[in-house]
Amino acid sequence: MKFKISSEELKKIVSISSRVCGINLTLPVLNNILLTLENGNLQFFSTNLEIGILITIPVDSKEKGKISIPGKIFSEFVNSLPKQDVEINTDNFIVNLKCGDYNAKILGQDPKDFPVLPEIKEKTITNIKSKDLISGFSKVSNIVSPLDTRTEISGILVNFKKDKLIICGTDSIRLAEKTINLSGRIKDLSVIIPQKTTIEIGYIFSEYEGNVGVIVDKSQISFDFNPKNKKDPQISIVSRLIEGSFPEYKEIIPKKIKTESIFKKDDLYNKIKIAGLFSSKIQDIKLKFHPKSSKLSILASSSNIGESQSQLKGKIKGEEMEVNLNWKYFLDGLSIMNSSEVLVGVNDATSPIIIRPVGDNTYFYILMPKTV
């Protein structure tokens, strides 16, 4: 094969492709990127057998060919190149690269040893704006802690219901749910995808603007990115699904709230963060809600450090309430929210605490309190 491509474009593509290449001692071929040229389309395919990434971009070439090339050396060499066109041609299993004064030969491998790209024969379920999908995943994926013992909560729930996509993640102590409105009604479907898949989608698709088509079968899900700018590459991320049933979490969402409060997010964040400096090893702080004075007392103490107490003015209605919680987990929830104000709902010292961005009913974050 023989083709020419700008070094800046090649850097982006190889950087994306090499994200799932690693040091695989069992299957060394998985450390490679498969290059395919045919009908004027250049494809880069990489996989770790859990996630596969396929990138397609048009090039001015009538040739065809295929080769497997080590991802690490390919990526490091390309990232060192100046802003010029890169000429690439292959001779048997050798990749020749030329860019300005730079010349290199990289030993490739027989492409027949490379895994085949997974094919999903089902039709596209829906199309979602890439920025909406990225935002949705970013609001739930960071709270998930992969567990070998409970694989069903080691991933992200992706639930298509009527005209909505509901995304949920939990680590059994906290839970977050984000709802994305879809353009039309679709068949109800629920699957669990690996946390790493959502992280890769956030990183890869954020480089470009466009729509993402979603396809699902019994064991896999595909996210096919179609760029708004036709010069940008088409990207498909195919991921395995996690077996099992996601917990029936709707039962823990508070139906009624005894004490409801609204605070400026930044003020609440800063006061909780300061209190955290004085918390014990189990990272607990105490919140006291005072509806009559519309004030929140924030207390923390440690036998090794000392103690801290502060108050925050807000809008509080309901009953006097006192709860203990993990301050780091609380800040995790606040940091995800884009609103200037947040609602904090509490029922008692042992029931879930709910936090919502004011003005956005599509997202909530739930945190279990600490019991003393």
pLDDT at 252: 92
For residue 259, give every residue at least 6 positions away whose Cβ sits within 8 Å of its Cβ, in sequence order, or none.
289, 291, 316, 317, 318, 319, 320, 321, 345, 346, 347
**What distance in Å separates the CA atoms of residue 281 and residue 300, rounded to the nearest whole number?**
11
Token code pair at residue 331: 């800040």
Task: Could you please state the CATH topology (level 3) that the domain comprising 254-367 is classified under.
Answer: DNA Polymerase III; Chain A, domain 2 (3.10.150)
CATH no. for 2-113 = 3.10.150.10
Could you tell me if 175 and 249 are in contact, meaning their C-beta atoms sit under 8 angstroms apart? Answer: yes
Average pLDDT over residues 227-247: 92
- Read off the pLDDT band of 148 (50, 70, 90): low
pLDDT at 372: 63
pLDDT at 120: 86
The mean pLDDT value of the chain amounts to: 93
pLDDT of residue 341 exceeding 90 = yes
pLDDT of residue 149 exceeding 80 = no
pLDDT at 268: 98
How many residues are there in the chain? 372
**What distance in Å separates the CA atoms of residue 39 and residue 46, rounded to the nearest whole number?**
20
- DSSP state letters, 180-232: EEEEEEEEEEEEEEEHHHHHHHHHHHTTS-EEEEEEE-SSEEEEEEEESSTTS
Average pLDDT over residues 111-123: 87
Element (H, E) at 334: helix 327-336
- DSSP state letters, 31-43: GEEEEEEETTEEE
Nearest-5° Cα angle at 195, 242 to 340: 135
**What distance in Å separates the CA atoms of residue 41 and residue 51, rounded to the nearest whole number?**
22
pLDDT at 35: 96
Q: Under DSSP, is residue 335 helix (H, G, I), strand (E, B) or coil?
A: helix
pLDDT of residue 25 exceeding 80 = no
Domain ranges in the chain are 2-113, 126-250, 254-367
Q: Under DSSP, is residue 132 helix (H, G, I), strand (E, B) or coil?
A: helix
The pTM assigned to this predicted structure is 0.91
**What distance in Å separates the CA atoms of residue 334 and residue 355, rounded to the nearest whole number?**
8
Longest dimension (CA), the chain: 80
% of the chain exceeding 70 in pLDDT: 99
Residue 82's nearest CA partner among 61, 98, 58, 59 is 98
Average pLDDT over residues 48-68: 94
Dump pLDDT digits (tens) for 238-285: 999 999 999 999 999 999 999 999 999 999 999 999 999 999 888 899
Structurally, what CATH architecture does the domain formed by 126-250 represent?
A: Roll (3.10)
Which residues are 186's β-sheet partners? 162
pLDDT at 116: 86
- Read off the pLDDT band of 145 (50, 70, 90): confident
Dump pLDDT digits (tens) for 63-103: 999 999 999 999 999 999 999 999 999 998 999 999 999 99
Check residue 244 and give left, alpha or beta (phi > 0: left; psi -120 to 50: alpha). left
Burial of 303 (0-12, 13-18, 19+ CB in 10 A): exposed
pLDDT at 231: 85
Average pLDDT over residues 179-189: 91
pLDDT of residue 10 exceeding 70 = yes
Token code pair at residue 198: 């959502």
pLDDT of residue 123 exceeding 70 = yes
Check residue 94 and give left, alpha or beta (phi > 0: left; psi -120 to 50: alpha). beta
pLDDT at 294: 97
Q: Same CATH topology for 2-113 and 126-250? A: yes
Eight-state DSSP code of residue 312: E
